[in-house]
Amino acid sequence: ADNKKTYIIHMSKHHMPTSYSDHTQWYDTSLKSVSDSAEMIYTYHNVIHGFSTRLTDQEAQQLESLPGILSVLPELRYELH
């Protein structure tokens, strides 16, 4: 309905600007720079550094071009075997 898709945003932890004291704050500022309304669905700390959120294609492309963003990967659906 909102032509948004879920993406998993992989951040390069080592590129967090020193002005931030906390990764989540950096993630949130990055996200808000491409979308006022997008919320983080999850933040990840152990298996990746990053978060998931819903974005339009255009917002996803804008986000991917920001410094410190490693990759904006579309969510995949897995099935039980």
Partner 1 sequence: TTRTPEFLGLEQNGNLFPQSDKEGDVIIGVLDTGVWPESKSFDDTGMGPVPSAWNGACETGTNFTASACNKKLIGARFFAKGYEATLGPIDESKENRSPRDDDGHGTHTSTTTGGSVVAGANLFGYATGSARGMAPRARVAVYKVCWVGGCFSSDILSAMDKAVSDNVNVLSLSLGGGTADYYRDSVAIGAYAAMEKGIFVSCSAGNAGPTSFSLSNVSPWITTVGAGTLDRDFPAYVNLGNGKNYSGVSLYRGPTLPDKMLPIVYAGNASNSTSGALCMPGTLIPEKVKGKLVLCDRGVNARVQKGSVVKEAGGAGMVLTNTAANGEELVADAHLLPATTVGQKAGDEIRKYVISDPNPTATIDFEGTKLGIQPSPVVASFSSRGPNTITPEILKPDVLAPGVNILAGWTGAVGPTGLADDTRRVGFNIISGTSMSCPHVSGLAALLKAAHPEWSPAAIKSALMTTSYTSYKNGKVLQDLATGNPSTPFDHGAGHVDPVSAVNPGLIYDITADDYFDFLCALNYTASQIQLVTKRNTTCDPKKTYSLGNLNYPSFAVVVPSDSTGKSGGTTVVKHTRTLTNVGSASSTYKVSTFSDSKTVQISVVPNTLTFSQVNEKKTYTVTFAVGSMPMNSNVFGRIEWSDGKFMVGSSVAVSW
Q: How many chain residues interact with partner 1 (CB under 8 A)?
A: 27
- Using CB under 8 A, which of 20, 23, 48, 68 touches partner 1? 48
Nearer to partner 1, 41 or 58 (CB): 41
42: three-class secondary structure by DSSP: strand
Q: CB–CB of 16/26 below 8 Å? A: yes
Block residue for tokens 């996803």: 60
Residue 47 touching partner 1 (CB under 8 A): yes
Residue 30 touching partner 1 (CB under 8 A): no
Residue 44 touching partner 1 (CB under 8 A): yes
